[in-house]
Structure 1
């Protein structure tokens, strides 16, 4: 079973050859961001943005590798929030996220039909909540 799962994911994530002409068409036709929008997007992230992202996050979800939940962050946000915003701002400015934001626990979750191992499991990555907060802000 492990061999079939390994072979399935090795082929799934192997690099495919790309057509240089297709890449050129894709890059040439991408829209650009206006100067005003770019300046607005490059503003430092604020505590209010992080607080709003945390408020919008669903509860009763599995924690990440650190074991901390959304509910924990909501209760202790007044204490944790300013320091986390500082860490994230320095990380984004330096171009490298903290190690805790770059790690995940990968879980193979079984689907209903277990007869074919390569089609019966789907990977789920469990991330730490503080990295999910940052992701939610960047996505919005």
Structure 2
């Protein structure tokens, strides 16, 4: 099952499982954009994801990530008062979510409860 060809629905399911208001990546787009315009851009997203999965080719800009420091308190005084978060492109997240969804189906068979 893990090595079966990826279906278009797997990528669509991945984006629609994401929280719509997550922070945008370097391209400025968040999951809401992709959900709203899936009929226009879905085919290109699917083709890009499949190209990476089958050929190992991912446009370099999709791997771009912004690191942002979010304060843990009102007046941070040192680095320990800040929490780093990574803002990845949504297409990259769709790819990761699709892979995670597949793995989730067999994870209980690979890892025991103990």
Tell me the TM-score normalised to structure 1 length: 0.64
Say whether 1:126 aligns with 2:87.
yes
CA deviation digits over 1:97-127, x for unaligned, max 9?
2213211011111112734x13111211101
Q: 1:114 aligns with which of 72, 76, 82?
A: 76
Q: Per chain length, whose mean CA-contact separation is higher, i.e. which structure has more relative contact order (CA < 8 Å, sep 6+)?
A: 2
Aligned-residue RMSD, C-alpha: 1.6
Structure 1 stretches of 4+ with a deviation exceeding 6 A read none
**Structure 1 runs not aligned, ≥5 long:** 1-39
Aligned residue pairs, count: 100
Whole-Å separation in 2 of the counterparts to 1:93 and 1:47: 14
8 Å Cα contact 2:63-2:89 kept in structure 1: no
Q: 2:30 aligns with which of 62, 69, 77?
A: 69
| Bigger Rg, which one | 1
